[in-house]
Amino acid sequence: MFDRRFLPYWGVAFVTLATLVTLLAMGRNFSCPCGYTLLWYAGDDSGQGSQHLLDWYSPSHLIHGFLFYGATFLLMRRFALGWRLLVSTIVEGAWEVAENTEAVIQRYREFTVSGEYWGDSVVNSAADLAAMFLGFWLALRLPIWVSLLIVVGFEVLTTFLIRDGLTLNIIMLLAPSEAILEWQSAGG
109/59: higher pLDDT: 59
Over residues 56-78, mean pLDDT? 98
Q: Is residue 74 part of a domain?
A: yes
pLDDT at 187 over 90: no
On whether residue 139 sits in a domain, the answer given is yes
Tell me the sheet residues that pair with 40: 54
Task: Report the SS3 class of residue 48.
Answer: coil
Q: Quick check: is 118 in a domain? A: yes
pLDDT at 113 over 90: no
Q: Give me the pLDDT at residue 102, please.
A: 96
Give the count of domains, the chain: 1
Q: Does 76 fall in a domain? A: yes
24 inside domain? no
Q: Does residue 21 sit within a domain?
A: no
Mean predicted lDDT score pLDDT of the chain = 94
Query: How much is the pLDDT for 44?
Result: 64
Q: What is the pLDDT of residue 166?
A: 95
What is the pTM assigned to this prediction? 0.95
The domain of 69 spans: 58-188
**pLDDT tens across 10-45, in order?**
999 999 999 999 999 999 999 999 999 999 999 866
For residues 84-95, give the mean pLDDT.
Answer: 99
pLDDT-derived band at 1 (thresholds 50, 70, 90) equals: low
Strand partners, 54: 40
Mean pLDDT of 53-78: 98
Would you say residue 107 lies in a domain?
Answer: yes
Tens digit of each residue's pLDDT (9 = 90 or more) over 137-166:
999 999 999 999 999 999 999 999 999 999
145 inside domain: yes
Calculate the alpha carbon distances from 115 to 15, 40, 48, 53, 110 in Å: 30, 20, 12, 20, 7
SS (H, E, C) the chain: CCCHHHHHHHHHHHHHHHHHHHHHHCCCCCCCCCCCCCCECCCCCCCCCCCCCECCCHHHHHHHHHHHHHHHHHHCCCCCHHHHHHHHHHHHHHHHHHHCCHHHHHHHHHHCCCCCCCCCCHHHHHHHHHHHHHHHHHHHHCCHHHHHHHHHHHHHHHHHHHCCCHHHHHHHHHCCCHHHHHHHHHCC
pLDDT at 71 over 80: yes
